[in-house]
Chain A
Amino acid sequence: MAQNVGNKNAEALFHLVDARERLTYPDNAAEGITDEGDSYVKTIAKRFFKNKVAVVSLGVFILLLLIAVFATQLSPHPRDAITGQFQAAPYDNFYLGTDDIGRDVLSRLIHGTQVSMIVGLGSVAIYVVIGTTLGLVSGYFGGVVDSFIMRVTEAVMSFPFFMVILTLVSLLGSGIWVVTAVLGVLSWPALARLVRGQVLTLKEQDFVHAAVATGYSTPGILFKHILPNVISPILVNATFGIATAILTEASLSFLGVGVQKPRPSWGNILSEAQSLRVLTAQPWRWVPAGILIFIAVLSINFIGEGLREAIEGETKN
């Protein structure tokens, strides 16, 4: 109602403006905008770096990454070489002692970081690509395409996850790349659903209609216009995905179907604790591996949490 009353006045205003030679815009000054012109990424980064726990965790994660990359240079001893005494407690430059055949535990842990990082990042990279693409397609096209993709998703989800992995790994043979691939190929359903849900609301927004009206092709609309708006939940999901993948790899290796000896992984180092004697009398052989898994998973979870808060703060303001 109020708007209607105003419109008569607006008419008067129009004629006034019309009388002028050229239209003027009082809001045209570049300095008229107070908001610092930060990009979206920068705003999120700023908020993320205010979260101390998350920043420390990010530091830890980067450190682990560096350790993985420079494993050979950092290790005091070769990975698989029998260099020391058997089952010795820490001595000399064997800072974490040796295992049952005299290999340096610390060097093996450092190389184990490589495995965890490859499996964690690799499998997440695989499932993010699959999950995002299927989610985008499913949500955007709807109808039969959507139904089909969602039924497949549910089918994959309904398998008991660990059993399928065990079966596949024992069929395909174990090893770091198989574990990575299997984890990647089985973990996408949750992400696909998440992305689909977001796309369902986004595709009804005017800016998507505007993109259609502008003439963008369908892939152009999906990847240029919709994807940037779903990137934040994907990122959060991916972080937690890395932690889960590291844990799953450790579990598989612990059970002996993951990464195979002599290649060390935190999981198969930990599996030595299956022997009661090691568990009770030789803590140096398994406690450090456990602590590393704990630290890696915890720090990644904190990073994810920090990201989530930084992004949700965005929507709240």
Chain B
Amino acid sequence: MAAEPKEKKPIVEIRSYKQYFNEGKKSEVRAVKDVSFSIYEGETFGLVGESGSGKSTTGRALIKLGDITGGQIFYKGEDISQIKRRKDLLKFRKSMQMIFQDPYASLNPRLTVKEIIGGALKVHGLETDSNKRTEKVYELLESVGLNKQFANRYPREFSGGQCQRVGIARALAVQPDFIIADEAISALDVSIQAQVVNLLKELKEQNNLTYLFIAHDLSMVKYISDRIGVMNNGRVLEVSNAGELYEAPLHPYTESLLSAIPTPDPESERHRVRTEYDPAYHHYDNLDRVALHEIAPEHFIYCHEDEIPLYRKKREKLLKKARQYA
């Protein structure tokens, strides 16, 4: 597990963010209903949840790819919906970057690798001289383990893993502080996933980065994250330190999600009991006083006020059990 960040200063704060598409029309989709969490400087925050839970939508809102319906998102203490002037927007874009899910779709098929990475440098005026820019592109390619001879090639000439590394090089080009990895490894095969995740870890240490790591794959998230948020149906249901989440999953949905991780041992796999989660069990839509409550330090659960003691008790029990086995 990665070391605890020494000084906890939030770089991102999301407060009851909502995102409705086609609002007011018949086709209205409530993709995100109530999302709140913070990300501290220097940490890797994992955001997990099933398809359609709104985790990618949250990532996109955070990097300002669209307007949000409700709530507030702060980046470095600034409300991002207030960033309007081109100069401020550029500063924001330089500080925050994104790595996308589909490595091929995220690279323009008509541009060479040099144009893709160099373009980012050009936009932010980081290297105005074209020769120096090419040098910088070579440097970036090298830092993600790609040969500089690849610079004049087109994305379709690369494998998925290579494309994803080009995407990472593009994100790194502007020297950001914060990177959103939106299912950045889901489309890659397992050995390449390992490669990319290790690259991300290495780059984080070298460049002092903060990550928001969006994924649906719990074992991967456990490996990379310091803290984890669990999303379902447009809400963040549980936020906790990675270690505690796996030892004491409090929300029934988290329990269900963890119980779904297959184990490579056929014996235990045969006896593995899957816990089903019935979303109808919680009527979040009809209740007030339901919010993200702090059950224990740094452990939040989306629940009704009355449920807090129950969750506290459950946590004690689970932690005791975990310690017994340890």
Contact = CB atoms under 8 A, between A and B. Distances in A.
Do they bind each other?
Answer: yes
Interface of A: 1, 3-11, 13-14, 17-18, 23-25, 27-30, 33, 35, 37, 39-40, 205-207, 209-217, 220, 224-225, 228-229, 231
A213 B145 contact: no
Nearest to B222: A11
A37 B157 CA distance: 8
Given A23-B195, A28-B145, A210 B262 contact: no
A40 B194 contact: no
B40 interface: no
Given A28-B146, A37-B153, A220 B264 contact: no
Given A27-B161, A29-B147, A213 B93 contact: yes
Contacts of B156: 35
Contacts of B219: 4, 7-8, 10-11
B283 interface: no
B105 A205 contact: yes
A30 B147 CA distance: 6
Contact of B149 (A30, A217, A225): A30
A307 B101 CA distance: 33
Contacts of A213: 63, 65, 93, 96-98
| Contact-residue bracket for chain B | 35 or more
A9 B190 contact: yes
B198 A215 contact: no
A212 B105 CA distance: 14
Given A27-B162, A35-B157, A207-B106, 14 more contacts: A3-B217, A11-B219, A13-B190, A25-B145, A30-B149, A39-B154, A40-B154, A206-B105, A210-B98, A210-B107, A214-B120, A214-B170, A217-B123, A228-B110
Chain A binding surface SS class: helix
B119 A224 contact: yes
A105 to B, nearest CB: 48
5 A-B pairs with least C-beta separation: A215-B93, A228-B110, A25-B145, A30-B149, A206-B106
Nearest to A37: B153
The interface centre, meaning the residue of A9, A18, A28, A216 with most chain B CB atoms within 10 A of its CB, is A28
B94 A8 contact: no
Contacts of B94: 215
A8 B123 contact: no
Contacts of A29: 147
Contacts of A231: 110
The interface centre, meaning the residue of A4, A35, A207 with most chain B CB atoms within 10 A of its CB, is A207
Interface string B152-189: 11101111011000010010001000000000001000
Nearest to A227: B110
A118 to B, nearest CB: 31
Contacts of A4: 217, 219, 260-262
25 contacts: A3-B190, A7-B190, A8-B261, A8-B263, A10-B190, A10-B193, A11-B219, A11-B223, A14-B197, A28-B147, A33-B158, A40-B154, A206-B106, A210-B167, A210-B170, A213-B96, A213-B97, A213-B98, A214-B93, A214-B97, A214-B174, A215-B124, A215-B174, A225-B108, A229-B110
B157 A33 contact: yes
A215 B170 contact: no
B198 A209 contact: no
A78 to B, nearest CB: 49
B145 A23 contact: yes
B276 interface: no
Contacts of B119: 211, 214, 216, 224
B175 to A, nearest CB: 13
A211 B154 CA distance: 16
A207 B153 contact: no
A215 to B, nearest CB: 3
B95 to A, nearest CB: 10
Contacts of A10: 190-191, 193-194, 219-220
Nearest to A41: B110
B113 to A, nearest CB: 11
Nearest to B220: A7
B111 interface: yes
B102 interface: yes
B106 A210 contact: yes
B198 A18 contact: yes
Contact of B108 (A39, A211, A217): A211
